[in-house]
Structure 1
Amino acid sequence: MQIRISALVIAMGIMSGCSSFGASGPSGSAIMNAADKPLASATISVAPLTEDIARQLAAADRTPNFSHMFTETEVMGSRLGRGDVLEITLWEAPPAVLFGSVAGLMSGAPVASNSLSQPGQVVDENGLIKVPFAGSIRAAGRTPAEIEQDIVSRLRGKAHQPQAMVRLVRNQATNVTVVGDVANSGRIPLTPKGERLLDVLAGAGGVKQAVSKTVVQITRGDRLASMPLETVIRDPSQNIVVQPDDIVTVAYQPYSFIALGATGSNSELPFEATGINLAQAMGRVGGLRDDRADIRGVFVFRLEDPAALGSQLPPNARLTSDGKLPVIYQLDLKQPGSLFVAQSFPMRNRDVLYVSDAPLADLQKFMNMVSSAAFSVIGVANAVDSGQ
């Protein structure tokens, strides 16, 4: 019996000397005390996740969409440009004055022709074409019908009831450039139909990656906007009419966040280009572990863009060398309203979601270790007693 008690006392002494029982990361109190601690050239900011901050960050994530950024709706495929190749045909009613000629013989009799055809007319670098008896005519930026009317008005009084037909043979000017993760990058010609964004993507053979992980960027002059392809498909108003010289860039965006600590799963999880919120992120990791998690210790670690914080930016904040602010957002799930806040807080690529252990978790680990050791020692003591 004395051996049993001595062994148990020794085991408990060893256990009580342990300063740490292992953990998956820092404690909640250590994180809350990290404010203003140095991180390279910057300082860490710890911010309680409030409704105001969540709304501010959500507003910063709302970039201009295609329908607001690009308001032009004119169908430009019918307007000609420099380098386009045209076929021009001129007629006049008999008796022909300008275009009368003998086209050949039919049954031994001459056949008169009252027309003139000009194939392969190229719109020159000045945007002009040359038409017999009509002179130089501006073609760039005009429709074939407008050019026909101009030709007829110039020939009136010279030819007998003149008529003209202008046909686009080869489109060299009104094109959209499609590059990136599509089957066939290249220039897609526009037609009078008025091609939309999804039309030119289809013309390039479609995207090569999953729609949910694909982002489309449109560059028009000095304006630029990006949107998830899934949003464009779901919202017809974003499937805008493209314009000549637009550049459509398709990019594969494998967004992900990392979950650590007392969550249902510690791993890196991908999410869609349309984005997810913090509540969805917690759901995807299986929630918090009831036996370990501190419901006041849900943290999101992020290198934040200072512009996204706006008025919420801490005074005297020191940024990293690339202009980012190390921020730890803390969500207190003990407050029922925090679940609504979590639905407003947008997760971003490379965020770290960390849930700290509850303060009593270490005590529970200690008691489990003592119990295991005590039962082991008692077993050994019983074996010794039985052998005596």
Structure 2
Amino acid sequence: MAIDTTFRCPVARRQQGLRRLLAQFAPLALLMGLAACSSLGASGPSGSELRRGQSASVTADIRVIDLTDKLARRMIDAGHSQTFAAALGEVAPAGTRIGRGDVLDVAIWESPPAALFGTLGGDVGLSKGPSLAPKATSLLEQMVGEDGKINIPFVGSLVVAGRTPQQVARDVEARLAGKAHEPQVIVRVTQPVTSLVTVVGDVSTSTRIPLTAKGERLLDALAGAGGVKQPIGKVTVRITRGTQVVAQPLEQVLLDPRQNITLQAGDVITALYQPYSFTALGAVRNSAEVPFEGTGLSLAQGLGRIGGLDDNRANVRGVFVFRLEDPAILGPDLVSGARLTPDGRVPVIYRLNMSDPGSFFVAQGFALRDKDVVYVSNAPLIDIQKFIGIVSQTAFSIIGIANQVR
């Protein structure tokens, strides 16, 4: 028995020492867990950090704006003002006006017996033949000069730029009265250099299309260029008219006949392949870049496409949309005094509280835009749950080690 006791005492002493070491290590493990609580993994900023709207990496002022029904309505109205019909409006057919550089053909008819411009065929001189047929003369084609004038024999210099061919014909007839016998005049634009629109981009054939008195419209020009090469739902049409530049999805033009506006001379139509998308991050079921159609997508539809919020992690009061917004859309009351980005935009975070039943109606009226970021923050208790998980794992590890050394 003495031998056994001598053998077991050192083993017992080592076990007791290890237990004391584990007992000392347990508080240290808890402290480490508490320290780790401030750096637990996350997919983005918390809801409180977003509400403060502070950032060290963005020089412009970030505006955090609650998404309300009033704001959604204002943004819908602002979106309507960016359509072709609202921004450019309807104009008179551009093809009826003569411009500088256009080439004109002037034909003059006279009744016998006298013919100021000669016999049929255009010979200059008086016609003394017995024929009773009207005498017609087609003058040489003329290009409208920089001064907007052309010259016609026995008429002189005539301003034609900015006038219709019918107006010019009546003016020529009036000036020939008393010189020619019952003159009748027809003026045609044979080369409409100035009454052209340019169609470029993702079309079958980039081309220049002349405008006529018919009043060609946007879809006429696209059809004249052979149509677009990409799916209609992913094409944006941009019209440049002078200093104005307005863009709109092609599908909206097809669905709303008012957007198929009459073109003006000098318009540049650009068809752009632009697949729209937004990015979903945070406590959602599916973080991804989500494409959508050119006709638009509401926030409610966007959340539906990513499977909605993650029930186990999401803060229903913390649904945020990040966007670089046009100050004109927000209005002076929301951007007063704000520092803008170099391109004149305002960094805006729209916040939606989905614990309010009315927020679902607001989400239906709020349209997502290309390159928007939809972020859902974690619920406040998620970090506590993560900390409890770390402490539990640490405690179970200590208990397991202690059981092994008994």
TM-score, normalized by length of structure 1? 0.79
Secondary structure of the corresponding residue to residue 313 of structure 1: helix
- Write 1 or 2 for the structure with the bigger share of helix: 2
The structure with higher relative contact order (CA 8 Å, sep 6+) is 1
Cα deviation per residue 1:145-176 (whole Å; 9 max; x = unaligned)? 33332222322322233233333322212111
Larger radius of gyration: 2
1:266 matched to 2:284? The reply is no
Contact 2:53–2:62 under 8 Å retained in 1: yes
Q: Partners of 2:28 and 2:271 in 1: how far apart?
A: 64
User: Which residue is 1:128 aligned to?
Assistant: 149
**278-287 or 10-19: which moved more?**
10-19
Closer, same or farther in 2 for the Cα pair 1:343/1:197, shift >3 Å?
same
Secondary structure of the corresponding residue to residue 309 of structure 2: coil
1:177 matched to 2:201? The reply is no
User: Which residue is 2:267 aligned to?
Assistant: 246
1:87 matched to 2:87? The reply is no
Q: Partners of 2:28 and 2:318 in 1: how far apart?
A: 31
**185-194 or 320-329: which moved more?**
320-329
CA deviation after TM superposition for structure 1 residue 220, in Å = 2.8
CA deviation after TM superposition for structure 1 residue 198, in Å = 1.0
Q: Output the amino acid matched with 2:208.
A: R
Closer, same or farther in 2 for the Cα pair 1:239/1:155, shift >3 Å?
same
Q: Output the amino acid matched with 2:45.
A: P
User: Which residue is 2:369 aligned to?
Assistant: 348
**225-234 or 142-151: which moved more?**
142-151
Cα deviation per residue 1:360-380 (whole Å; 9 max; x = unaligned)? 445655677788899999999
Q: Matches of residues 21-100 of structure 1 in structure 2 within 5 Å?
A: 22-32=41-51, 34-36=52-54, 38-100=56-118
Q: Partners of 2:176 and 2:391 in 1: how far apart?
A: 107
Closer, same or farther in 2 for the Cα pair 1:72/1:138, shift >3 Å?
farther
Closer, same or farther in 2 for the Cα pair 1:71/1:350, shift >3 Å?
closer
Closer, same or farther in 2 for the Cα pair 1:59/1:176, shift >3 Å?
same
Q: Partners of 2:60 and 2:186 in 1: how far apart?
A: 70
Cα deviation per residue 1:302-329 (whole Å; 9 max; x = unaligned)? 3444443335527765555555444433
Contact 2:110–2:181 under 8 Å retained in 1: yes
Q: Partners of 1:199 and 1:279 in 2: how far apart?
A: 36
TM-score, normalized by length of structure 2? 0.76
Closer, same or farther in 2 for the Cα pair 1:15/1:186, shift >3 Å?
farther
User: Which residue is 1:200 aligned to?
Assistant: 221
CA deviation after TM superposition for structure 1 residue 266, in Å = 0.5
Cα deviation per residue 1:114-154 (whole Å; 9 max; x = unaligned)? 33222422222222222222223332223333333222232
1:148 matched to 2:169? The reply is yes
**Mind listing any 5+ residue stretches in structure 1 that lack a counterpart?**
104-109
Contact 1:134–1:151 under 8 Å retained in 2: yes
Instruction: Name the count of aligned residue pairs.
Output: 375
1:158 matched to 2:179? The reply is yes
Q: Output the amino acid matched with 2:46.
A: S
Closer, same or farther in 2 for the Cα pair 1:149/1:38, shift >3 Å?
same
Aligned identity (percent) is 52
Secondary structure of the corresponding residue to residue 186 of structure 2: strand
Q: Matches of residues 202-221 of structure 1 in structure 2 within 5 Å?
A: 202-221=223-242
Q: Partners of 1:77 and 1:178 in 2: how far apart?
A: 17
Contact 2:81–2:87 under 8 Å retained in 1: no
**Mind listing any 5+ residue stretches in structure 2 that lack a counterpart?**
1-14, 122-128
Q: Output the amino acid matched with 1:282.
A: L
Q: Partners of 1:164 and 1:317 in 2: how far apart?
A: 64
* RMSD of Structure 2 on Structure 1 (CA): 3.8
